Chains A and B, each alone.
Chain A
C-alpha cells in the first residue's frame, strides 16, 4: 500500500498485491496520521489496479479507513475499488448499527456483585422450597389416589434406576468394604484383634456407608439422567405441552421418578450392605486368617437390627433427595443445549451436597436420640 496527495485536498490510496487472510498487511498508523482532522484533506480515493487478490481482510481494512474518514469528516470515494468490494461495503453499511444493541462490558462493583449473588441465592432458595412444596402436595394427592401418571413409564424408571444400577453398586460397595477392612486391619493387627474387622466393616456399611455410597452413585447416575431428561423435555417444549393440556408435570414426571427412587434405594442399599460385608470378608479371610464362620458370627453379633433400620432410613431420604435434585434442576433448565448440560451437572452437585448434609443431620439426631 502506498498513498500520496494528488491535489491539495485529495489523497490517493494505492492498493496492490495480494490482500488475503494470512498475507502480511501493512500498518494503518501512517495513513491514519495523514487523515487526522486538520490535515487539509477533504477527499480520499482508491486505486486498485495492482490488486491481484482480495477477501474479507481487505474489507475490514477498508472499513477501518472509512470509519476513520467519517470521523474526520473526509469523504471516501469508493469508485476506484473493485465492484465486489464496493457492493460488500454497501451491504455492510446498509443497515446502521442498532442504537443500544451493542453490549458494553461493564465492571460491576464488588458490593453489587455480592448483593446480586445474595439475591440470586435467596431466589433459588425460594424456588427450591416452592418445588419441594409442590412435590409434597403431589405426593399427598398420590396417597389420596388423585394423582395420575402412566404405570408403564413408572416401571421403566424403576428398571432404569433399580436393576440397571446393580453392576456399579456391586463394584463400589465391594471396594468400599475392602478398603474399610484394609484400613482397620492394619490397626487391629497390632492388638491381635483382627476379628473385630468384621464389626468395623459390618457396622460402618450397614449403619451409614452402604446408604451413602448408593446415594452418591445414584446422584451421579440417575439424578443426572433425570435432570437431562426433564431438561431436554423443557427445551423441546414438551413440558409446556403437558401444562397447556392441564397435566401437572409435577405429578406426571416428578412423582413417578421420586417414587421409583424411594422404592429402589432401600433395596439397592441392602444389596450394597451385603456386598460391602463380602468385601470385608475377602480381606479377613485372605489376609488375616479369619475363618468364614467366625467372620459371619462376629458380624451377626455386631450388626443389630437398629443399625439396619437406620441405614434403610438414610437410603429412603437419599432417594427422595436425589430425585428431587434431579427433577428440580431439569424443570428449571433453560432453553438451550448447554443449559441441559448445566442442569445435569447442577443436579449431581445438589444431590451429593444434600446427601452429605442429610447424613450429618441424621447422624446428629441419632446421637441425640441415643440410637
Chain B
C-alpha cells in the first residue's frame, strides 16, 4: 500500500431498492490517477454503484469517502462542493435536449465560475474541439449522431476540469474505431488533467487497454468477488466466473453453447 490517502474509498457499501438488495458489502479503494473499471455481468448493479458514488442514490449501508471525507455524512453545502469536482458521462449522453451543445457545455461554467461571456465561449469552443466537435456549437442534441452525443457529453463532463471523471458505458453503441478513439481520449485526459477515472463497462478491449484497477461484481452472490488490475486478474485469477468473463467464456476450454454453421 502506498502512503497517500486513496482518492476514493468505498466501505461496506450495500445497495438496495426497498427490500431488494442489489449488492452488499462492497469495499474497495481507488488511488489518484487510477483508471478504475467497474465490471460484471448485465444486471449486477454496475450503473447503480456509479449512481451511489456520484450522489444520486443513497446507500442502504456503508460509506463513500472522497479523500477521507464521507459523501453521505456531509451537509448539503459540502456535498455540492464535492460534486463540483465530478465530471460524469451518462450512458445516453444525457445532454439537455432544449439547449444547444454550446449551452450544454457552458451551463456548468456559468453555474460555478464568474467568467465573462466571452471567456465562457472560448472555453466551450476549446472543450468541443478537444472531443472533435469544433464547429458544432449551435447544434441541438437531436441533430447529431449517437457517437457525437457521447463526445459532447464528455465535453460537458470535463467543462470544469474535474478531479474525477465517471463514465457509464462510454463505448456502448459506438463502432470499434470510435470506441478506440474514446479510450485514447480517456487516457489522454487522465494524463493531462491528472484526473481519476471511474468507468462502468463490459467492453473487454477497453478494460485491458486502459484499466489499471477494477472491481468485479457478481450477480448471483450479490458481492464483489475480485478487485485489482484486470490484466493481473486475467493472468492470476482462479475463479471460473472471472476467467469466463475476461475471456468471453472461452476459459473453460470448449464453448459448447456456440452454434456452429457446419452442416
| Interface residues in chain A, defined as those with a beta carbon under 8 Å from any beta carbon in chain B | 83, 87, 90-91, 94-95, 148, 153, 156, 232-233, 236-238, 240-247
Contact = CB atoms under 8 A, between A and B. Distances in A.
A237 B54 contact: no
7 contacts: A94-B257, A233-B96, A236-B94, A237-B90, A241-B90, A244-B54, A244-B56
Binding site secondary structure of chain B? loop
A210 B257 CA distance: 69
A110 B190 CA distance: 58
Nearest to A235: B92
A244 B55 contact: yes
A94 B259 CA distance: 12
B212 interface: no
Interface of B: 51, 54-56, 80, 83-84, 86, 88, 90-92, 94-98, 107-108, 111-112, 156, 256-257, 259-260, 263
Given A83-B263, A91-B257, 18 more contacts: A87-B260, A90-B256, A90-B257, A94-B257, A148-B111, A153-B98, A236-B97, A238-B94, A238-B95, A240-B90, A241-B90, A241-B156, A243-B56, A244-B56, A245-B107, A245-B111, A246-B111, A246-B112
Binding site secondary structure of chain A? helix
Contacts, number: 57
Given A94-B256, A94-B257, A246 B84 contact: yes
Contacts of A90: 256-257
A244 B88 contact: yes
A237 B256 contact: no
Contacts of A83: 263
A194 B246 CA distance: 88
A233 B86 contact: no
B84 A240 contact: no
Nearest to A232: B97
A3 B107 CA distance: 75
A92 B92 CA distance: 33
Contacts of A246: 80, 83-84, 111-112
A244 B107 CA distance: 13
A145 B54 CA distance: 29
B83 A245 contact: yes
Contacts of B257: 90-91, 94-95
